[in-house]
Structures are given as structure tokens and as C-alpha cells.
């Protein structure tokens, strides 16, 4: 096998690795080493998922204007901080605690009781909480990009508390928490959270963007979309690459153990991501005549979001197919929301909600293996599994859509009625950095060219006219 | 008397223009990043699938303070160094200056240049 690896070329090597892994399972480790490996790996995977926060912050900062850069960074800092605390205080208990309300549709355990326990087997409760809190923070942070450049900071802060305290945990309870979607005759499948995490953030983002309305100047007097270019493409690409790296914690970590499946999941994640960016670039290039950098970046993310649900259930060849379709979908979806006057400066709705929903449904077609959710092999339509799984996956994404849009919509409307949701027109034109946080993100140094406010003002006038 | 020669040129031509002006013996110049439009009034670009108007095109503005007798020569040097023959090559205008002072020495008029 070693010789084959050396001589067989790249594709040969990949095949050998994939085919060799079941054999490895026979070499069982001593239980104590397995316990340490499991917890250590999930800890590292969790750290990678927290690192994704840096990626989100950079992508969102890059795709918006420099006068709002402190504000978007602050929102990213705070949806993580408030989000983790809210999840510790309330969310985690609702999702995974005991107690049942309304026949198990809601739980009522509060807090993180029991996480200090040290069992000698499986994941420590603290490891599990650490990992799950990273996912909660991910769901929360998706929203800031879609609501960028016009949302009051304090209102966003309140939102980020409630989504991780109440909305996301209920979705968790119904799914990974073992709730009703897991108890169906053909249980739902969403391995690492295309719908549970990404579409929760994505649909909440859509409600936020709709209720806020578009940024000033985003649509001309004739109603036609007018782009407002972001201020740093290097931030966007760096941020997307950080997200890409973080995803190797997100998906392979969702195996919740250090076992032979981890690398298979990593490999499928890799192929889906790269296929997503290439597919999005080619489609966008042929439509617009030039390959837009940020759309190719969105395509990579769409590939990642799409493979997040099916990654445990599908064969390796299917991963780049699913990723590429995710990349194509995102190009059309960004245009569609543009036309519908839903102003999403970073494409968060398209990447997380639309590609995430597609990825979740793709299981019904491509599922070959039992990913520990499906409970059977060959559940996909392409493997003779019929339409049973499609029924479950459709029910799952539809109920999820209704639940998230209703609760997030109600939350944003309640915030609008009390605190107000959108900054004043004056504040939006001047920029949120100075008006909300007291100083500009890049300073006002007359000795540094490009930091004067002259350019910002004239681009405001440009945006307004 | 003193004249102020102001030129708005393509940013990519700045190096050539600076070299030409040094060859012409100018004593100093001021360069400012500027934005503006001429007769064609900007142009359209695409970003993330949507179009947008670039209404103000990036330009460089240069200003040279000089004596009456040098103004035409300097303007001509700029024209030949900055011209590409394509739209947006820029504009030059010359205006009289009533007073100029060199701050360190307090010299005024042509001495100040
Ligand atoms: N009338 C004007 N007043 C002040 N500045 C001007 C005027 N016209 C042009 N400019 C400045 O000069 C820059 C370059 O102008 P431009 O060369 O496009 O002029 P034009 O008359 O349109 O010539 P062309 O047909 O060669 O493009 C503009 O971006 C603007 O900054
Ligand atoms: Mg012109």
C-alpha cells in the first residue's frame, strides 16, 4: 500500500486513502487513549470554528465601506461574545437539557449544569459545550453582514442575544437535541448544520435585511440596483480563506470523535469548497464578462455550506458536484435578491440560507452511507432509496424556514418598535463608525493620505443622488 | 508677475509629467489626488452582478507656480508628456497669482518661487 501511494500519482493516492480507511478501524486503541484523542480533537475542531469568527469579520468588513468598518468589526466581536454567554445562560439548556414543554417541542433546562462533570468516556460535557457554543456563535454572526451599514448597534446587540438564547436552541432541540425531527420514521439528516446553523443565520439575515430596507443609494430613482462596492477585496479573500480553514473544524469536528471518518469528511469538504468557487467564477464570468472576486469568494463559501449537511452521507465523487451546484446557485441567488430589493451587502442570505437549503435537500438524492442520522444506507433517490428521505428533508427545511422567519421577523419588528432598528439618514451618510462608536476605523490623520473624510463625503453624495 | 499652472492629468502619466517638468527646470510642484469628470461624464462598471456609475474618475491634479515667461513652456511640457490621444487625458489652465510668499525666508513674488 505504501508503494502504491508513492507511485500512483495524486488521484491514486486519494483513492488509496479513501479505500484504506475502513481497514484502519480494526486497529482499536486503548479506551483511555481514545478518550483523550476524542476530546483533544473536538477541542481543536472547536478552536477552528471560533477562528471562523475572524473570517466572517474580515469578509463583512471588506464588502462594506470604510466609514462603517469599526461598526462591522464591533458587531462581529459582540455577536460572538453576547452569543456565547446567551447560549451558556439559556440556549444550551433548551437545546440539550432535560425537561419537556409541549410534548418535547421545547425544553426548559436553563444554564450549563453538569458541564464540570468529568466522565472517562466519550466527549466531556465541557468539550461538547465548547464545540456547540462555537456553532451558536456562527449562526449568530451570519446576520451582521446582511444588515451591514445601516443597523443601530444596540439593536443588533439585543438581536444577537436572543438568536442564541432562544431561536437557534429550539432548532437544535428539534434536531441534534434528539427532538421530533430525529424521531420521524425516516429521521432528518443534517450532519454539520447546513440548515441547523447556516440557514438559521441566513433566514434571520433575510428578515433583518427586509425589515431594514436597502442602504441609501442602493437603488437608483429608476429602481435599478446600483452597486456599492466594498472597501477591501484583500480582506474579503483573506476572510474567506480563514473560513475555509475553519470549516475543517466545522465539518470533520461534527463527527464528534477522532475516528476514521474524520479525514473522509475533510476531503469531501475540500472538494466541495474548491468546486464551488470555480463554478461560481465561471458562471459569473460568462454572465458579466469579468470574473468578480467577491462572487468567486462567495462561491467557495456556498460550496462549503452546501456540503455541510450531506458530508457524512455522500460518496466522495458527489462532494464536488454538490459544491459546484452550491456555487452556481449563489450567483443566481445574489442577483435575485438584488432584484427583489433585499439589500445584502455580503451575500449572506444566498450563501448560508439558499446554498444551505440546497445542501440539506441534496441528501435526499445523493445519500449512500448512513451518516448516523439517516439510520440506513442508500437512502438517496440515486441509490434506490425512493422519495422517503426527500419527504423528511422537505418537511425539515420548510418547518425550519417558517420557524426562523417568523421568530426572527417578530424579534426584529419588536426591536424596531422599541429601540429602533435603523440609524438616521444623517448617520448612515456620515458613517456608523463615528456616530455609533466615537471614532473612525482608520483614523483621521492628515499626514496619512486617504484618511481624510473628503472622499467619504463625496461617495455619500454619490450614493445619495 | 506670477502665474499658477494647474493641470488635471491621468494618474498613470504622473511620472512622465514629473520628469518632463524637472527637465523644464521647474522649482517645485504640488500633486493632489483628485476625482472629476469631463464631457463623457464617468463610466459604468459591474460589481457582484450589479452595475454602478463611476461618476468621478480618479485623476491627479498638479500645480506649478512660475514666472510669466515660463508658463507657456511649462504648459506645453505637460501637454506633450500627458497626452495619450484617448479620452480623459485631462485639462490645463493658467491663472495669474497676486501674491506668493516663501515661508522660511519671507521672500515674496518671483523670489518666492
Ligand atoms: N470644466 C472643467 N472644470 C474643472 N475641471 C474639469 C473640467 N473639465 C474637466 N475637468 C477635470 O479634468 C479631468 C479630465 O477631463 P477630460 O480629459 O475627460 O476632459 P474632456 O473635456 O472630457 O476631454 P476628453 O474628451 O479628452 O475626455 C476631469 O476628470 C476633471 O477632473
Ligand atoms: Mg473626458
Greater pLDDT, A107 or B1:
B1
Confidence of residue A31 (pLDDT cuts 50, 70, 90): confident
Q: Quote the ligand 2 centre to B8 CA distance (angstroms).
A: 11
Confidence of residue A109 (pLDDT cuts 50, 70, 90): low
Query: Directed axis angle between helix A125-146 and helix A233-253, to 10°?
Result: 150
pLDDT score recorded for residue A97? 80
Indicate whether B3 pLDDT > 50. Answer: yes
H/E element, B7:
strand B2-9
Smallest CA-to-CA distance from A227 within B54, B47, B56 is with B47
Let me know if residue A440 belongs to a domain: no
Smallest CA-to-CA distance from A268 within A132, A362, A386 is with A362
C-alpha A268/C-alpha A322 separation (Å) is 10
Q: Quote the ligand 2 centre to B4 CA distance (angstroms).
A: 23
H/E element, B46:
strand B43-47
Let me know if residue A442 belongs to a domain: no
pLDDT tens column, A339-388: 999 999 999 999 999 999 999 999 999 999 999 999 999 999 999 999 99
| ipTM of model | 0.77
- Across the interface, of B46, B48, B55, the residue whose CB is closest to A462 is B55
Q: Which domain holds residue A36?
A: 31-422
Does A341 contact chain B (CB < 8 Å)?
Answer: no
Contact A227 B55 (CB under 8 A): no
Let me know if residue A324 belongs to a domain: yes
* Residues A280 and A49 sit within 8 Å (Cβ to Cβ): no
- Compute CA A349 distance to the chain's CA centroid, rounded to the nearest angstrom: 10
pLDDT tens column, B50-88: 988 899 999 999 999 999 999 999 999 999 999 999 999
C-alpha A206/C-alpha A348 separation (Å) is 8
* Residues A197 and A243 sit within 8 Å (Cβ to Cβ): no
With residues binned 3-state (H G I as helix, E B as strand, rest as coil), the percentages for chain A, rounded to 5, are 70, 0, 30
* Residues A403 and A411 sit within 8 Å (Cβ to Cβ): no
What is the radius of gyration, based on Cα positions, of chain A?
22
With residues binned 3-state (H G I as helix, E B as strand, rest as coil), the percentages for chain B, rounded to 5, are 30, 40, 30
Residues of A in contact with B51 (CB under 8 A): 224-227
pLDDT score recorded for residue A96? 87
Number of compact structural domains in chain A: 1
pLDDT tens column, A139-190: 999 999 999 999 999 999 999 999 999 999 999 999 999 999 999 999 999 9
Contact A335 B49 (CB under 8 A): yes
Handedness of CA A265, A235, A206, A333 (dihedral sign): negative
Task: Determine the longest span between alpha carbons in chain A, in angstroms.
Answer: 70
Let me know if residue A460 belongs to a domain: no
C-alpha A334/C-alpha A228 separation (Å) is 14
How many residues can be counted in chain B? 113
From residue A371, how far is each of A261, A267, A308, A314, A398 by CA, in Å? 10, 16, 12, 9, 22
How many residues can be counted in chain A? 465
DSSP A183: S
CATH number at residue A371: 1.10.3430.10
Contact A458 B35 (CB under 8 A): yes
Query: Directed axis angle between helix A261-288 and helix A293-308, to 10°?
Result: 140
Give the three cell numbers for residue B52.
454602478
Q: Which ligand is the nearest neighbour of the Cα of B62?
A: 1
Ligand 1 interacting residues, C-beta cut-off 6 A: B 8, 34, 36-40, 57, 59, 87-91
Mutant choice from A222, A227, A335 vs B, greatest count of B C-beta within 10 A: A227
Q: At CA A441, angle to CA A149 and CA A302, rounded to 5?
A: 50
pLDDT score recorded for residue A452? 46
Let me know if residue A88 belongs to a domain: yes
Let me know if residue A390 belongs to a domain: yes
Let me know if residue A186 belongs to a domain: yes
Indicate whether A444 pLDDT > 80. Answer: no
H/E element, B67:
strand B57-67
Smallest CA-to-CA distance from A170 within A97, A96, A106 is with A106
Does A288 contact chain B (CB < 8 Å)?
Answer: yes
Does B56 contact chain A (CB < 8 Å)?
Answer: yes
Our CA-based measurement puts residue B50 at a distance from the nearest CA of chain A, in whole angstroms, of 5
Give the three cell numbers for residue A353.
440560507
* Residues A327 and A311 sit within 8 Å (Cβ to Cβ): no
pLDDT tens column, A387-428: 999 999 999 999 999 999 999 999 999 999 999 999 999 999
Let me know if residue A439 belongs to a domain: no
- Across the interface, of A292, A449, A458, the residue whose CB is closest to B48 is A292
**Edge-to-edge strands, sheet with B30-36:** B30-36, B57-67, B2-9, B90-97
Smallest CA-to-CA distance from A257 within A172, A131, A106, A428 is with A131
pLDDT tens column, A2-29: 333 333 333 333 333 334 444 444 456 7
Share of residues in chain A with pLDDT > 70 (%): 85
Share of residues in chain A with pLDDT > 90 (%): 79
Span B36-57, average pLDDT: 91
Span A79-88, average pLDDT: 94
Tell me the sheet residues that pair with B4: B65, B95
Span A255-268, average pLDDT: 97
pLDDT score recorded for residue A116? 67
Our CA-based measurement puts residue B45 at a distance from the nearest CA of chain A, in whole angstroms, of 9
pLDDT tens column, A189-238: 999 999 999 999 999 999 999 999 999 999 998 888 999 999 999 999 99
- Across the interface, of A334, A449, A462, the residue whose CB is closest to B49 is A334
Amino acid at each position: 500500500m505504501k508503494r502504491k501511494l508513492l507511485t500512483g500519482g495524486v488521484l491514486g493516492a486519494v483513492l488509496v486513502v479513501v479505500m484504506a480507511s475502513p481497514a484502519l478501524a480494526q486497529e482499536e486503541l486503548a479506551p483511555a487513549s481514545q478518550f483523550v484523542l476524542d476530546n483533544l480533537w473536538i477541542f481543536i475542531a472547536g478552536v477552528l470554528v471560533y477562528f471562523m469568527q475572524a473570517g466572517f469579520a474580515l469578509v463583512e468588513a471588506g464588502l462594506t465601506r470604510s466609514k462603517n468598518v469599526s461598526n462591522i468589526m464591533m458587531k462581529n466581536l459582540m455577536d460572538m461574545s453576547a452569543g456565547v454567554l446567551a447560549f451558556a445562560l439559556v440556549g444550551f439548556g433548551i437545546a440539550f437539557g432535560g425537561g419537556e414543554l409541549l410534548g418535547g417541542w421545547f425544553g426548559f433546562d436553563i444554564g450549563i449544569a453538569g458541564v464540570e462533570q468529568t466522565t472517562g468516556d466519550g466527549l466531556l460535557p465541557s468539550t461538547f459545550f465548547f464545540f456547540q457554543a462555537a456553532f451558536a456563535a456562527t449562526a449568530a454572526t451570519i446576520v451582521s453582514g446582511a444588515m451591514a451599514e445601516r443597523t443601530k448597534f444596540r439593536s443588533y446587540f439585543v438581536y444577537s442575544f436572543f438568536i442564541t438564547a432562544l431561536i437557534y436552541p429550539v432548532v437544535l432541540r428539534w434536531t441534534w437535541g434528539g427532538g421530533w425531527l430525529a424521531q420521524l420514521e425516516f429521521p432528518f439528516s443534517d450532519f454539520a448544520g447546513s440548515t441547523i446553523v447556516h440557514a438559521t443565520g441566513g433566514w434571520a439575515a433575510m428578515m433583518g435585511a427586509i425589515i431594514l430596507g436597502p442602504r441609501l443609494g442602493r437603488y437608483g430613482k429608476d429602481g435599478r440596483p446600483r452597486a456599492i462596492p466594498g472597501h477591501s477585496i484583500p480582506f474579503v479573500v483573506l476572510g474567506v480563506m480563514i473560513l475555509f480553514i475553519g470549516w475543517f473544524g466545522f465539518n470533520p469536528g461534527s463527527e464528534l470523535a477522532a475516528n476514521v471518518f474524520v479525514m473522509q469528511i475533510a476531503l469531501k469538504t475540500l472538494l466541495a469548497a474548491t468546486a464551488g468557487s470555480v463554478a461560481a467564477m465561471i458562471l459569473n464570468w460568462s454572465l458579466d464578462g469579468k470574473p468578480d472576486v467577491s462572487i468567486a469568494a462567495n462561491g467557495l463559501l456556498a460550496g462549503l455550506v452546501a456540503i455541510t449537511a450531506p458530508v457524512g452521507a455522500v460518496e466522495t465523487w458527489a462532494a464536488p458536484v454538490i459544491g459546484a451546484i452550491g456555487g452556481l446557485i449563489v450567483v443566481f441567488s445574489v442577483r435575485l435578491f438584488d432584484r427583489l430589493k433585499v439589500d445584502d451587502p455580503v451575500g449572506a442570505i444566498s450563501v448560508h440560507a439558499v446554498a444551505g437549503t440546497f445542501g440539506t435537500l441534496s441528501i435526499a438524492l445523493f445519500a449512500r452511507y448512513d451518516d448516523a442520522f439517516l439510520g440506513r444506507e442508500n437512502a438517496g433517490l440515486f441509490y434506490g432509496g425512493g422519495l422517503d428521505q426527500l419527504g423528511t428533508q422537505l418537511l425539515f427545511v420548510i418547518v425550519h424556514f417558517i420557524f426562523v422567519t417568523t421568530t426572527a421577523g417578530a424579534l426584529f419588528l419588536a426591536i424596531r418598535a422599541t429601540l429602533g432598528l435603523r440609524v438616521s439618514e444623517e448617520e448612515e451618510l456620515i458613517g456608523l463608525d463615528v456616530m455609533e462608536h466615537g471614532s473612525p476605523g482608520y483614523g483621521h490623520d492628515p499626514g496619512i493620505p486617504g484618511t481624510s473624510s473628503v472622499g467619504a463625503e463625496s461617495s455619500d453624495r454619490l450614493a445619495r443622488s | 508677475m506670477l502665474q499658477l499652472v494647474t493641470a488635471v492629468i491621468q494618474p498613470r502619466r504622473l511620472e512622465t509629467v514629473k520628469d518632463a517638468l524637472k527637465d523644464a527646470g521647474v522649482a517645485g510642484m504640488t500633486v493632489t489626488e483628485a476625482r472629476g469628470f469631463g464631457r463623457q461624464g464617468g463610466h459604468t462598471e459591474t460589481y457582484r452582478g450589479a452595475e454602478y456609475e463611476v461618476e468621478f474618475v480618479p485623476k491627479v491634479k498638479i500645480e506649478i507656480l512660475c514666472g510669466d515667461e515660463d508658463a507657456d513652456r511649462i504648459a506645453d511640457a505637460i501637454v506633450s508628456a500627458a497626452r495619450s490621444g484617448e479620452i480623459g487625458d485631462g485639462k490645463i489652465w493658467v491663472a495669474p497669482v497676486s501674491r506668493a510668499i516663501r515661508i522660511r525666508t519671507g521672500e515674496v513674488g518671483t523670489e518666492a518661487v
